[in-house]
Structure 1
Amino acid sequence: MRATTPHPSHLVSSEDNDQEERSRLLPEDTDTEDAKDREKRLFRRLGLSFFLFGLINNVLYVIILSAALDLVPPSTPKGIIAFCNIAPALVAKVGWPYVLKGRIRYAKRIIGCALLSVVGMIVVALFDTLLMRLLGICLASFSSGLGELTFLQLSTTYAPPSVGGHSVGYFASGTGAAGLVGAFLWWEVRSFGVRIGVGVSSVLPFILPLAYFYLLPSPAGFLELSSDEQTEFANSSPIAPYAPIPTEEVPGNSERNLNITPKRTTLSLDDKIRLVKPLLVKYMLPLFCVYTFEYTINQGVAPTLLYPVPEAGRHWVLGKIIHSVRDYYPLWQLVYQTTVFISRSTISLGIPPLPQKLLSVPAIVQGVILLVLSAESAIGFFADSDASSIIFVFLLISLEGVCGGLAYVNVFYRINQERPDPNDEDLERIKQEREFKIGSVGFADSSGILLASLLAVPTEIELCKTQVRRGKLFCKGL
């Protein structure tokens, strides 16, 4: 019996049906792929923008500290540079959130911060007198404090929560990178002298408005993303979408695009005090303690952590790094800045944030590190000729940087993720409350640094006296 062969028309019909099915499904698959590519591009632009905001806003602060020895006469205490570099920033962080009324004009504020930084650095570069240089440093410091406040507030205009957290994570990473980049830049340009070196640095703030207007994606772009989180967020919001409420100040957005007519809402002083009270213990105290302990270590204890120069034959790694007693302090600062950068980048690297209940842990650990390093400086746990002391301090300084970085990025991440009252339907009020809350916390780290600068001087003096009494004279020879 001859086998029955399917008629060719059956094959053609089957192939045509498969092709029609693929053609029907292909546009949908293509649209999905395009949407995913667009989402990736948006997140890359958002991350790069906030990384640049953190880097450029903080890099001048680091450059000024790195240039302290070159900016003032030898007879002038270098602590005055640190004071002028932090006090105006503290004034901006403490006063501005309470003085400001109504909505934030981000474009105007960012342009103002950039221009103020440029003017401050030019004053430092052009004038040789101590008073004028301190004035320039104060201008740049105020701009840096106001800039940090502004960019953290800007992160609250992005929704859903993962987008806002993405912004904070990359901003924190940029601020961490500023420590390394600023020190490296000054190392490279210091040979040209203060006038040229600082003058060249004055062009950096122009990157801020350029990134804001030409790189930063609009909040409205993220509202169009289709995701489970966006759907859940929209359904749980009092009036979706509440968080971005983009204004004409956010590039590429206007309230007309979302058909929103904003109310004329202004937070009163009583409203702001009511909002800030729950934040004092929850966020501000951990951040304040971390930075008080951290900068007391850096400015008061680390300068006394000095040891004999390791013999290259016995300790070949340390022998290549440390060539004189004066190399120890820069080494501790390098270790600290590197670990701060890594820990401030944890969220941008995809590492889960600390749980809310563990936000105080970095401050507790930092306090213990301060006590242990102070004891090591005063009495010494190992023989001075033993490299174990250097390794021990290296590990503790690394842990110090990790604690400081984790505290910073996690505190601001958690504030950014807080949800508003679901019963509040005033969108403009919700927007201003979110901006105020994250802005009001910023003074905690600066006030901790300022307190540490006052504690560091007597701490260093007393630790040095203690070392001299036990016959260790390195701190006297610097």
Structure 2
Amino acid sequence: MLKWSSLTAEKKSLLRLGASFFLFGLINNVLYVIILSAALDLVPPSTPKGIIAFCNIAPALAAKIGWPYLLKGKIQYARRVIGCCLLSFVGMLVVALYESLYARLLGICLASFSSGLGELTFLQLSTTYSPPSVGGHSVGYFASGTGGAGLVGAFLWWEVRGWGVRTGVGISSVLPFILPLTYYLLLPRPATFLHPGMSRTYSTATVPEAIEEEGDGVETSRLLGTEPSGAATSRLEKSVSLSATDKWRLVKPMLMKYMLPLFCVYTFEYTINQGVAPTLLYPVPDPSRYWLLSKIIHSVRDYYPLWQLVYQASVFLSRSSISFGLPPIPERLLPAPAFVQLGILFVLVIESALGIFSEDREGRSFALVFLLIGIEGICGGLAYVNVFYRINQEEPDRSTVHNLEQAKQEREFRIGSIGFADSSGILLASLLAVPTELELCKTQVSRGKTLCKGL
């Protein structure tokens, strides 16, 4: 009876943990997706949509560089969560209340900084949970939430865009308050999973120190089932921070293994989304020839949000692969999604510039674009969840196991440092997207296809 009760409690804790990290991923990223999906509505038609992408990622990149690489010491998770909530709320209000281009770009920058810091924070938070199966559970559901954010954000803007920017964005500005509510009311603390009833793959000596509650001392030895000596307690309580040398030692082996594949995937992916997709336009479908398609596309402006919806749906499925119970892809195949993305980019550029099928066969063109954007989203999602899952599962450096606080900070830094790769890839893509969109539109106009000029 006791064993069954304990097992039930464990399952409930895992369910709460998964739900918490899913909500963290969903809410933290949903505003980012709404802004990308609303790009056509936030700026004048003559403004390249790549500018939105740039302002939506550059501040996030600054947060992902500033916090793990430049700041030192313990992470105050509660303060970060509250800060991210307030920044997102203010940023979206600015976008909703002001119509000038520069004010909206400022609001987007605030929301972007919050999103970048939030993603970094929640991924680092996942490393405070042991054993590794629990930490992987956290990452899997967080990635699923970020994928769900893409689907929810794109669909939400599809539904509310008719209400205008002020109302649609204004309504979305209240969503960030779900983050602190989840953190304080739903999220189980790491100590919940540190008990003899749960199996471990790490030895006691390598279990990361539990997350600190602000204002409370960390009783690491009590959680691990041992009583410390006075010297050990002093060592645990001593302030620890990673030096620049420590951080370079941790980053160096991850450059080719994790960072380069993630950088390439996101460079190709967002070049497609922001530079090529806005030019993948076709005439409004004739109901007599394309009955179903005509129910979805009512104007040329509907194509871009639809491509975003297809992309985000496929991202959700692939980012949820770990939480669905599918095995992670082999480590040697982590670069594969980048090569597939490059091929998709090439084909879609040809389709936009020259047209693979004749103009009277737009149904085939639509089907091709639909398929390729779906594959694009699957590749991007698989790259994201598998890279962060594998980093979360890496064992601590054996040279630091005597200092649990240092081991904890190293695990937090490892997973936090990777965000630089995907965000810098998105930033580069936003710079490439502006001339790409303009040149593709010019090429279309030169062959008599002027739809891109009417957006």
Give TM-score, length-normalised by structure 1.
0.86
| 1:236-263 CA distance string (max 9 Å, x none) | x5x15x2243322499975475356324
Residue matched to 1:438: 415
Aligned equivalents of 2:278 and 2:43: distance in 1? 19
Provide the C-alpha distance between the structure 2 equivalents of 1:196 and 1:35, rounded to a whole number of angstroms: 48
What residue is the counterpart of 1:275 in the other structure?
A: 250
Match of 2:381? 405
CA distance in 1, matches of 2:48, 2:276: 17
Give the structure 2 partner of residue 79 of structure 1.
50
Is this contact kept in 2: 1:307–1:385, CA < 8 A?
no
Q: Distance in 1 between matches of 2:358 and 2:441?
A: 17
SS at match of 2:360: coil
Deviates more, 1:113-122 or 1:399-408: 113-122
Query: 1:367/1:68 Cα in 2 relative to 1: closer, same or farther (>3 Å)?
Result: closer
Residue 45 (str. 1) matches residue 8 (str. 2): no
Deviations along 1:245-294, whole A, 9 cap, x unmatched? 33224999754753563242211111111211111111111111001100
1:393 counterpart = 2:358: no
Name 1:233's counterpart in structure 2. 202
Query: Which residue of the partner structure matches residue 134 of structure 1?
Result: 105
Q: In the aligned structure 2, how far is the partner of 1:325 from the partner of 1:190?
A: 15
The one-letter code sitting in structure 2 at the alignment partner of 1:385 is: D
* RMSD value, Cα: 2.4
The letter of the residue matching 1:371 is F
Match in the other structure for 1:243: 208
Closer, same or farther: CA 432–250 of 1 in aligned 2, 3 Å:
farther
Shift, 1:363, TM fit: 0.7
Cα 1:461–1:193, aligned 2, differ >3 Å: closer, same or farther? closer
Of 51, 56, 61, the match for 1:90: 61
- For residues 148-187 of structure 1, give each alpha carbon's deviation from its aligned partner in whole angstroms, at most 9, with x where no partner exists: 1000000000111111111011111111111222233334
Q: CA deviation at 1:426?
A: 1.6
Relative distance call for 1:400 and 1:78 in structure 2 (3 A) is closer
In structure 1, distance between residues paired with 2:415 and 2:65: 12
Query: CA separation in 2, counterparts of 1:178 and 1:368?
Result: 26
Please tell me whether the aligned partners of residues 48 and 438 of structure 2 are also in contact (alpha carbons under 8 angstroms). no
CA deviation map 1:183-233 (0-9, x unaligned): 333344455544444333222111111111111011111111524x42x42
Deviation at 1:319, TM superposition (A): 3.4
Give the Cα separation in 2 of the matches to 1:253 and 1:336.
44
Provide the rounded CA distance (Å) in 1 between the counterparts of 2:37 and 2:423: 18
Amino acid at match of 2:256: V
- Confirm or deny: 8 A CA contact 1:220 1:253 kept in the other structure: no
What is the identity, as a one-letter code, of the residue corresponding to 1:276?
V
Q: Distance in 2 between matches of 1:221 and 1:463?
A: 55
- In structure 2, the partner of 1:298 is 273
2-structure distance, mates of 1:444, 1:251: 35
- In structure 2, the CA distance between the partners of 1:339 and 1:368, relative to structure 1 (3 Å rule), is same
Q: Are residues 467 and 137 of structure 1, via their aligned partners in 2, closer, same or farther at CA, if it must alter by over 3 Å? A: closer
Matches within 5 A, 1:210-359: 210-224=181-195, 226-227=197-198, 229-230=199-200, 232-234=201-203, 239-240=205-206, 242-249=207-214, 255=220, 257-258=222-223, 261=233, 262=236, 263-359=238-334
For residues 138 and 251 of structure 1, do their structure 2 counterparts lie closer, same or farther at Cα, with a shift above 3 Å needed?
Answer: farther
The count of aligned residue pairs is 443
Distance across 2 between alignment mates of 1:321 and 1:225: 55
Q: Distance in 1 between matches of 2:218 and 2:15?
A: 19
Asked whether 1:381 is paired with 2:356, we answer yes
Is the 8 Å Cα contact of residues 92 and 142 (structure 1) preserved in structure 2?
yes
Secondary structure in 2 matching 1:247: coil
Q: Partner of 1:451: helix, strand, or coil?
A: helix
Contact 1:213 1:251 (C-alpha < 8 Å) held by counterparts: no
Matched residue, 2:435: 458
Residues 49-58 or 33-42, more deviating: 33-42
In structure 1, the gaps of 5 or more residues are 1-29
